[in-house]
Amino acid sequence: MEHTPYSAMHTPMLTELYEFSLADGYFSNGMENTVACFDLFFRRVPDNGGFAVMAGLEQVIAHLKNLHFTENDLEFLRTQGLSEAFLRYLRDFRFACDVWAIPEGTPIFPNEPIVKVRGPIVQAQMIETMLLLCINNQSLIATKANRLVRAARGTAVAEFGTRRAHGFDEAVFGARAAYIGGCVSTSGVIPARDFHIPTVQTMIHSWVQMFDSEYEAFCAYARRYPNRCSFVVDTYDTLRSGVPNAVRAFNDVLLPLGQRPHSVRIDSGDITYLSKRVRKMLDEAGFPDCEILASNALDEHLISDMVSQGAKVDCFLVGERLITSASAPLFGGVYKLCAVEKDGRIIPKINLSENVRKITIPSSKLVYRLFDMDSGKAIADVLTTDSEEIDDSKPYELFDPDFTWKRKEIENFVARPLLVKIFDRGTCVYDSPALPEIRDYCAEQVDTLWDEVKRFENPHKYYVDLSEKLWEIRKLLIEEYKGVRK
């Protein structure tokens, strides 16, 4: 059956008014054809983790492909004081920028460009808000999901937070991002329909409460869903009521139908203790194949403790603390001008601040990841100017861009560029991988990081270094604008 995907909504007006105002200002000053380069990057890993996970690129692509303005859009913008000349420009709008991005599922680090835009300043400015919306939210959720999956150490984790999301978009695209991060399924219907994510289905407590007894509730559910039968067993008492009644219903309804139970779910109490008892009860009753699901405000720390203590859980259902990334609900990506082009020359631009964390890295850049050829592990990322190429056939010296005396020479490595061309003068030249491919790629790439980078507490710092040339450009601009050089 044909349907309109949720992601096909008209999004060009999903922005902030000042983006249009600035674009109109550039247009009115005759700067509409001035070529500018912007970097989208983030400054800090959520939860003080060692890395983040790139996600949201597919929605960026969909937005940029569909970037046009209706008469209703233009009429509203007219009421906001935008010039008629600019409105005529929007009426005939055609996206013409070059866009590069780090592929979804890739581990990413602070201060490196994860999306790069080059094109007319009017256009490059206007797309800022939607790029940040897509990348910030999905990268946040993919990062949290990956933490949960690593905490589970091989036990499945399902995204179970549709009702807890902070709005429609987060429920839909958050489930997509969680799948990229490693979750096996979602409770959401639209993500299952539009992104083909497997679904998790389970009974809830109100079903049990609607019947005169727990046993009757289980039997009715088993008759209706015999091939995917899952009971919630903690409505009244998990060990004295829930599991015994579940076993009775399995024997009285499912087995005569030639079916086996899928699972039981525990949603309260000491889940580690209860899961061990429940596992023993199910095994002794002849249902060792019946899985145990666990829910109830789980996060990576609780899951890690439960796994360490031997919890007999087959799948963790994680809701609000995943879909909202409750412990760190902000990704903090920013979109900053790094260069303009004039008379065929690239003129680096820098944003200085009293807060040194906010000083940007100027110039149009490339991002390389250096991998040790023996271990396959990532050594560091290096930012260079567009004109540089890292020669991995000979030794290369890394240095800390803040503490330049800290240097390390590496050899026997391979340098891989991370930024991939997505749009060429407004035409999409990138085929987005299928979502399961992105999920597998994410797992593979996270595995290239050392365990010390992946730990939850005080992770080892993964270095994002600058080439000598790029570092010198940044140093000279700081000196110029701070009045060090006369």
Q: Where are the alpha helices (DSSP H) in 260-354?
A: 271-284, 300-308, 320-323
Residue 1 has pLDDT above 60, yes or no: no
Across 405-432, average pLDDT:
97
Section 9-20 average pLDDT: 87
Q: Residues 300, 150: contact at Cβ < 8 Å?
A: yes
Angstrom distance (rounded) from CA 226 to CA 219 = 10
Does domain 6-141+329-481 fall under CATH 3.30.420.40? My reply is no
Residue 140: closest CA among 8, 62, 42: 42
201-310 belongs to CATH 3.20.20.70: yes
pLDDT in tens, 300-310: 999 999 999 99
pTM listed for this prediction: 0.95
User: pLDDT tens, 234-271?
Assistant: 999 999 999 999 999 999 999 999 999 999 999 999 99
Alpha carbon distance 263, 139 (integer Å)? 31
The C-alpha atoms of residue 180 and residue 434 are separated, in whole angstroms, by 11
Q: What is the pLDDT of residues 129-160, one digit of tens each?
A: 999 999 999 999 999 999 999 999 999 999 99
Q: Across residues 48-56, what is the average pLDDT? A: 98
Note whether 6-141+329-481 and 201-310 share their fold.
Answer: no
Q: Is the confidence at residue 485, as pLDDT, over 80?
A: no
Please report, rounded to a whole number, the percentage of residues in the chain having pLDDT higher than 90.
Answer: 91
**Separation in Å, CA 423 to CA 39, 341, 351, 427, 432:** 15, 19, 26, 5, 12
The residues, any chain, with a CB within 8 Å of residue 466's CB and separated by 6 or more, are 361, 382, 383, 384, 401, 474
pLDDT exceeds cutoff 90 at 486: no
What pLDDT was estimated at residue 7?
60
Kindly list the domain boundaries of the chain, sorted by start residue: 6-141+329-481, 201-310
Of 71, 86, 169, the C-alpha closest to 126 is: 86
Q: How far apart are CA 108 and CA 210, in angstroms?
A: 48
- Beta bridge pairs of residue 367: 383
Residue 198 has, within 13 A of its CA and on its CB side, a CA count of 10
Average pLDDT, the chain: 95
Q: How confident is the model at residue 4 (pLDDT cuts 50, 70, 90)?
A: low
